Amino acid sequence: MKRTDQTLLEQMRISEVEIRSRMELLGLDQSELNVLPVFRDVIEQNIDNIVDQFYRIQTEIDAISLLIGDADTLMRLRTAQRNYVIDLFSGQYNSEYVNNRLRIGLVHKRIGVEPKLYLSAVRALKQIIIEVMTDCCPDNADSDKAIDVLDKLFYFDITLVFDTYIGSLVGEIETAKRHTENYAKNLEDQVAIRTRQLEEQARKDSLTNVYNRRAMKDVLWRELSMAKRRKTTLSLAYFDINDFKKINDSYGHMRGDEVLRILGQILTDCSRSTDLAFRYGGDEFCLVLPECNCNQAKLVTDKVQELFLAHFPDFSFSLGLAQFNPDDDIDGDELIQLADEKMYQAKKKSKKEANGDQSPSS
C-alpha cells in the first residue's frame, strides 16, 4: 500500500494499545487528564494573549523568523497554534489527537525546524500557559495538579513529534520484522472488529434497534464538534409519544412496544444517510441531523409523522426542533434541553386543542 493511502497513525503503526502504553509510561490516566478541561474556559478567554506572547518571543529568534518567512504564513501558524493550545484542554486525547500531533511533527520536519528550536518553543509555550492558569485561577485547588498533568501531556506530545522526526530519517524496516508486524496488525484488526461489534450492541436499544441514550451523548458531542469545524448547522428533533401510558393501559404493553418499535423503524427509514436516530427515554426519541437547518429537518419530520399516522391513526407524538449554528456557544445537553422545551410547548398546544379550544385563531 502506498504511503499516501495511509494515515500517519497507520504509517507509524501506533495503535490504541500503543497510545495507552505511552500514557501509562508518563503516569497519565483518564482521571488525571480530566482535570485539564476544568481550565478550558480560562484558556479560551486568554487564547489571543497566549498566542500573541508566544509569537512575540518566537519572532525575536532569527532562525525561527526566517523559517516563518511572511505575514500570511504567520497568520496561518497563529490559527494552528490556537487550535493546538485549546486541544490540550479538550479532554479528548484519542487517536485523532495523536494523529494531529504526528502531523505537527511531520510539518516541522518538512520545513526544517531543528529539534532544539522546537523544544525551546514548547518550553516557552508551556510557561505562558502556566502563567495564565496561575494568574487567572489563583484560588483553584486543582491548579498545581493541572500544571503537573499539563507537563506530562507536553512530554506525550513531544514523543509523538519526535517519532515523526525519526521516522522521516529511517528507511524500510527489515522484511522479517514486517511479516511479524503484519500478522500482529491482522490479529489486532480482528480484535478491533469484534470489539466494535460488541460496542455497537451496547450502544443499541434492544427493543427498537436504534441507538440508545448513552450512544447519543457521544454522537452528539462528535457531530457538534464537526459542525463547529466545518461551519455548518445541525438540527435535533425530539419526539415524545402522546399519552403513552394510556396506550399501555388501554391496549396493553405489547401494543405499546409495537408503537415504539415501529416509530424507531420509521425514524431509521426516513433518515438521510448522515442522520442518526436514538431512543432517548421510555417513549422519547431523538433524531440528529448534521448539516441540516430546521426548515430542512421539518421535511424529514413531516414524513415521519405521515408514516406514523398511517400505522397508528389513533395515536400521535409531540415534536420539538432545535438548531445548532457554528457560532452558538452551547453544548449537547443544552441543545437537547432546547429541543425538549420546544417539544413540551407543542405538547401543551396539542392538549389545549384536544380539550376543546377550537377557536378560529388557534
Give residue-wise pLDDT tens across range 8-21: 888 888 888 999 99
pLDDT in tens, 141-182: 778 899 999 999 999 999 988 888 777 766 445 555 677 778
Q: What is the pLDDT of residue 357?
A: 55
State mean pLDDT over 125-132.
Answer: 93
Q: Is 136 exposed, middle or buried (0-12, 13-18, 19+ CB in 10 A)?
A: middle
Q: Quick one: DSSP state of residue 204?
A: B
d(CA 266, CA 258): 12
User: What Rg do the C-alpha atoms of the chain give, in angstroms?
Assistant: 26
Neighbouring-strand partners of residue 242:
none
State phi, psi for 235 to the nearest 5 degrees.
-115, 150
Instruction: Please report the pLDDT score of residue 341 as a whole number.
Output: 96
Judged against a pLDDT cut of 90, whether residue 56 lies above it is answered with yes
Q: Which domains does the chain possess?
A: 3-169 (1.10.490.10), 213-354 (3.30.70.270)
**Cell numbers that stand for 284 in this block:** 422519547
Distance CA 239, CA 229 (A): 28
pTM of the model: 0.46
What is the per-residue pLDDT for 170? 62
Residues belonging to the chain: 362
